[in-house]
């Protein structure tokens, strides 16, 4: 989720808890060997043993179409001892697909196999290589070919978003199709797409025949979703989304944003998260409406703290 669920928000969500693993936004690989600083800039958790501050492993994700170049970059990335390496064959963005990356490669299962095999050979055996895919590019006729190509060439796990690229993020997600993939491959399959609530998660499990789930936008909208699902699995009382726990996370997120994001984009980053949070929290809707016209960081910070009834710290120049 480039531009939204980066390391800043990963820190806040994993601090709330419930996650076994996180995956980074994609690192674009074209025709050159990237310096290590690119990997650590996008995935700074690599400087912390591959973990968020809360201790959640983060798997960096590579995106590209050149098997040899991806392999060389994976080998360099492996020197930083990541918690696995993920390969992106699911991004539906036009700008990515136009440059032969992401979901457009699902029309070429032979190339998928070459990429995974090359990356698998290039990195030490203890570093897992996984892959993210959709049901297809324009349509799903080669879904099983792609899944089998990925699994048989060395992917230890497949994450499947239950829509084609053409379907984008338009509901519904076709979780039942993932069951066909899970039956066709010998590696674990993780279900992804349109999981906003515990009820969605349980239905996704039933239809996909997969117990493991990847949460994306649903976790951004309801940061306690993973914990709520864990509570259900353990037979504990239902855990409802609670706004009272979010003001500290929002303020912490704002401070992280202030440290690394250009001033003109700082307010926008927090409003972006609030836009998702208002799906579950009326309080987020009210806060979003109060802040939506503010752009300059000092005033935004003052109003944010006032709205959350927390004293604002002394303003620092970013």
Neighbours of 184 (CB within 10 A): 14
Handedness of CA 96, 107, 214, 64 (dihedral sign): negative
Region 45-68: mean pLDDT is: 98
Ranges of each domain in the chain: 7-233, 243-307
Please state, in angstroms and rounded to a whole number, the distance separating the CA atoms of residues 304 and 300: 6
Q: Is 161 annotated as a binding residue?
A: yes
Whether the model pTM is above 0.85 = yes
Q: Is 216 annotated as a binding residue?
A: yes
CA distances from 285 to 275, 290, 301 (A): 8, 9, 18
Q: What is the pLDDT of residue 315?
A: 43
Q: Which tens digit of pLDDT belongs to each residue from 73-117?
A: 999 999 999 999 999 999 999 989 988 899 999 999 999 999 999
Of the pLDDT bands very low, low, confident and very high (cuts 50, 70, 90), residue 313 is: low
> Is 231 within 8 Å of 239 (Cβ atoms)?
yes
Of the pLDDT bands very low, low, confident and very high (cuts 50, 70, 90), residue 317 is: very low
Mean residue pLDDT of the chain comes to 95
Handedness of CA 158, 163, 168, 171 (dihedral sign): negative
- Which CATH number is 7-233 given? 3.20.20.70
Lookup result for tokens 């992401």:
102
Q: Is 41 annotated as a binding residue?
A: no
Q: Is 2 annotated as a binding residue?
A: no
Q: Is 245 annotated as a binding residue?
A: no
> Is 59 within 8 Å of 123 (Cβ atoms)?
no
Tell me, what DSSP letter sits at residue 170?
P
φ and ψ at residue 191, rounded to 5 degrees: -90, 135
Please state, in angstroms and rounded to a whole number, the distance separating the CA atoms of residues 31 and 15: 36
259 pLDDT higher than 50: yes
Q: Which of 69, 91, 146, 210 is catalytic?
A: 91
Of the pLDDT bands very low, low, confident and very high (cuts 50, 70, 90), residue 312 is: low
15 pLDDT higher than 90: yes
Query: Is 91 an annotated catalytic residue?
Result: yes
- Which CATH number is 243-307 given? 1.20.225
Q: Is 132 annotated as a binding residue?
A: yes
């Amino acid at each position: 989720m480039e531009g939204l669920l980066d390391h800043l928000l990963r820190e806040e969500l994993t601090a709330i808890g419930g996650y076994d693993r996180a995956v980074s936004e994609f690192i674009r690989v074209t025709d050159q060997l990237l310096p290590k600083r690119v990997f650590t800039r996008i995935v700074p958790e690599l400087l912390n043993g591959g973990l968020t501050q809360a201790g959640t492993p983060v798997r960096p994700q590579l995106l590209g179409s050149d098997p040899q170049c991806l392999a060389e970059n994976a080998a360099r990335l492996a020197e930083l001892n990541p918690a696995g390496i993920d390969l992106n064959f699911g991004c539906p963005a036009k700008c990515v697909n136009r440059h032969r990356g992401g979901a457009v490669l699902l029309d070429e299962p032979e190339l998928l196999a070459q990429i995974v095999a090359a990356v698998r050979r290039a990195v030490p055996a203890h570093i897992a290589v996984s892959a993210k895919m959709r049901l297809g590019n324009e349509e799903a006729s080669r879904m099983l070919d792609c899944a089998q190509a990925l699994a048989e060439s060395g992917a230890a796990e497949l994450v499947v978003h239950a829509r084609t690229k053409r379907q984008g993020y338009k509901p519904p997600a076709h979780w039942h199709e993932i069951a066909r993939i899970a039956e066709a491959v010998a590696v674990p399959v993780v279900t992804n797409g349109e999981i906003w609530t515990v009820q969605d998660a349980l239905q996704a499990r039933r239809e996909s025949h997969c117990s493991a789930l990847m949460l994306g936008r649903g976790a951004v909208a309801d940061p306690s979703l993973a914990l709520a699902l864990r509570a259900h699995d353990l037979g504990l009382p239902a855990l409802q989304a609670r706004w009272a726990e979010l003001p500290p996370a929002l303020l912490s997120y704002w401070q992280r944003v202030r440290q690394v994001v250009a001033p003109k984009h700082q307010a926008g980053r927090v409003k972006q998260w609030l836009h998702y949070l208002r799906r579950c929290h009326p309080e987020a809707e009210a806060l979003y409406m109060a802040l939506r016209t503010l752009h300059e960081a000092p005033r935004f910070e003052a109003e944010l703290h006032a709205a959350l009834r927390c004293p604002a710290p002394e303003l620092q120049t970013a």
